[in-house]
Amino acid sequence: MITSLRHMFVDSWSGRAIAIAVFVAFIGWGVGDVVGYIGTSSNVVVQVGKTEITVTDLSTALRREMPVIVQQMGANTAAQLSPGMIQQITQQILQRLIMRAELLEFARTMNIVVPDSAVRNEIFSLPYFQGSNGQFDRAIFNQKLQDQGLTEQAVIRATRNDLTIRAVLQPIVQSGHVSETLLQNVMNYIARVSVVDIARVPFDQFPTPADPGDAVLHRYYVNHPWLFRIPEQRHARIVILSPDTLARSVPVDEKQLKQIYEAQSSTYHTPETRDVHMVILSEEKQAQTLQAAWKKNKNWQDIQHSVKSMKQAEAIDMPATRASAMASDVLRKAVFQAPIDQISPVIKLEGSWAVFCVTKITPPHNVSYTQARPTLLSEYRKEMAASFMPARQRTLQDTIAGSGFEAIPDTLGAVAVSGVLDAQGMTTDGHPAPIPASGALRAAIIHQIFTQKQGASPYLIQGPEKGPENSYFAVEVDKIIPSSEKSFTQSRAEVLKAWQSDVRYRMANQEATSLYVASNTSGKMVLPASSKIHITRNVAFLSSVPNKAIPLELMAYLPHMRVGQAIMVQSNHAFLVGLVTKIFVPHPPLSQKDKQKLRLDLTQSESDDLVTTFVQTLIAQTPPSINKSGIKMAIARAGLGG
């Protein structure tokens, strides 16, 4: 309640530490740690000693917190969540309420009482209830409570509870302490630098072996039967309705297209334009001097610089200028008759003089209606598709559910295809299946084909979020062709390729293993002169900050290795050998500022641990008793089902 107004605690370091610690304390706590409900009131959800969490408390928390959680999960409303997910979220929210109840019950048994004056000062200090003068405003207070559906008594009670919890936890949080020994050890770990040499032995650096003959290949074929199979294939019928497919069927009124064409006339009919450099001056003599200088030096930047030192003179850039944009008839006529890249004579204007140079001439451009029609039609249909989609989607859904694919009218804008494909979307001849969809939508269609049962009735499915917006599809699987073995004759080319790949793999493995053994023995990474292995030397990384240039397969081991120790791992296309050549800690390990920040972070972590232990002790001493029917009642009151 008041939590949503002030984030439960004050905006101070200690307040934030309390909040973080409290939530950490309950991350791992589950319903299995509580005892069954033994009370008698059906309005009580949880009983902790003499402190109660009512159905109203839980339902209010659900209504307030559920929309935020739903949004974080990527859903629009709670109705999109399964009943099991609703129960899990309810449990998490209830755990937080139980935590508060445990702390309040402890405060009650210890006679910790927050005075009314402290509650009043806390409420008055909330910016949420303050006016423009920074003071508490009773009218704003009443309005905010009305907007939130709260009563004054509820706010006072929530504030008193928050202050009580703060009073219990703050001494525990402030008792956190980090020793200098721990601080120094952590600093040394964070600042420790390891230096490594890395060798990469790619499989494809070794020559492809020659065809060994049928005897060797057949033995390889027999020993690796799983590699040479025809994957399961399915014959499916697919219907897709998307903005792209629907757009093709949007009816078009030729008059509308022509009206759009005329409305965008300036786009399709552009007059001649000219790029012009121009100088406007107040005196004729000054203009003549500038014109002569410009003829000698045609560098516009130099002319602009000269104009800056002249009185009542201005240099102007006029890119893509239309004749209609020039107010002076004299100047318009002169500019649009002037040849390109020539300094004009001095032009007399009304009260001023001008000199200019035309640097570019763009001829007029006209696109006829016939030429523009394909683009206009495409844009019009795309724009109109969104408005047609809801009705078309409902009609398609009803048609599929009622009569099946055969009854789908051609006028809906849905596209139907059928054919055989495997789980990778490939046809029998190894080409991508011609499904009129791409990306996430195509992947979703293929996934549905290989999860839907043969003969199951088709139904309309909304496309994935990452696919085209407002896309729908339905599939019908009418035949499943099980996976089968390929004969040696059918797969000989594949067998040869796999055998050659295996040979190159073994050669790479042998060379990498030799390098690993030698490096581990000598503590140095030395290659024979004939080796083609590439070594990257002196690559450094911090224990606390992995180097992105080092492959992840190596980084899983390197931080834990000693100087002179080597490691060999396999990546997708190569073997990697890493050797630690040096480990050192700079002096000082951290700057004074970073050291202080680390001290604060470690202190907060220590405080978190203390609070976690404290709350777990309270739970063990006063186990919460839960009324499961009360939870169901709260979920129902919150409008989230029974």
Locate 642 and state its tokens. Answer: 């029974």
Locate 324 and state its tokens. Answer: 């209609």
Whether pLDDT at 365 is above 80: yes
pLDDT band with cut points at 50, 70 and 90 for residue 325? confident
pLDDT tens for 142-193 read 888 888 777 889 889 889 999 999 999 999 888 888 899 999 998 988 889 9
Whether pLDDT at 27 is above 80: no
Q: Taking the CB of residue 384, how many other CB atoms lie within 10 A of it?
A: 17
Mean pLDDT over residues 468-496, rounded? 92
CA distances from residue 551 to 199, 206, 546, 578 in whole angstroms, order as listed: 11, 22, 10, 10
- pLDDT-wise least confident of 39-43, 52-56, 567-571: 39-43
* Greatest mean pLDDT range, 73-82, 181-190, 274-283: 274-283
Mean pLDDT over residues 499-511, rounded? 95
pLDDT tens for 578-636 read 999 999 998 888 888 988 998 999 998 899 899 889 989 999 999 999 998 889 999 88
1 CA to centre of own chain: 31
Residue with tokens 């060798």: 199
Whether pLDDT at 19 is above 70: no
Average pLDDT, rounded, for the chain: 87
CA distances from residue 252 to 65, 383, 384 in whole angstroms, order as listed: 48, 12, 10
Q: Taking the CB of residue 73, how many other CB atoms lie within 10 A of it?
A: 12
The β-bridge relationship of strands 233-241 and 353-362 is unpaired
pLDDT tens for 381-422 read 888 887 888 888 899 999 998 888 988 888 888 999 999 999
Locate 350 and state its tokens. Answer: 């009304």
In terms of Cα–Cα distance, which of 568, 574, 572 is closest to 514? 568
Query: Residue 189: what pLDDT?
Result: 87
Of how many residues is the chain composed?
642
d(CA 417, CA 402): 20
- pLDDT-wise least confident of 24-38, 47-61, 269-283, 299-313: 24-38
Q: Please state whether the predicted TM-score (pTM) of the whole model is above 0.75.
A: no
The β-bridge relationship of strands 415-422 and 233-241 is antiparallel
Contact status, residue 524 vs residue 580, Cβ threshold 8 Å: no
Q: Which residues contact 608 (CB under 8 A, 6 or more apart)?
A: 17, 20, 21, 24, 25
Query: Residue 41: what pLDDT?
Result: 56
Whether pLDDT at 37 is above 50: no
Query: Residue 642: what pLDDT?
Result: 57
**3 state SS of 296:** helix
Q: 267: part of which helix (H) or strand (E)?
A: helix 265-268
Whether pLDDT at 564 is above 80: yes
The β-bridge relationship of strands 625-626 and 35-36 is parallel
Query: Residue 199: what pLDDT?
Result: 95
pLDDT tens for 413-465 read 899 999 999 999 999 888 999 998 888 999 999 999 999 999 999 999 988 87
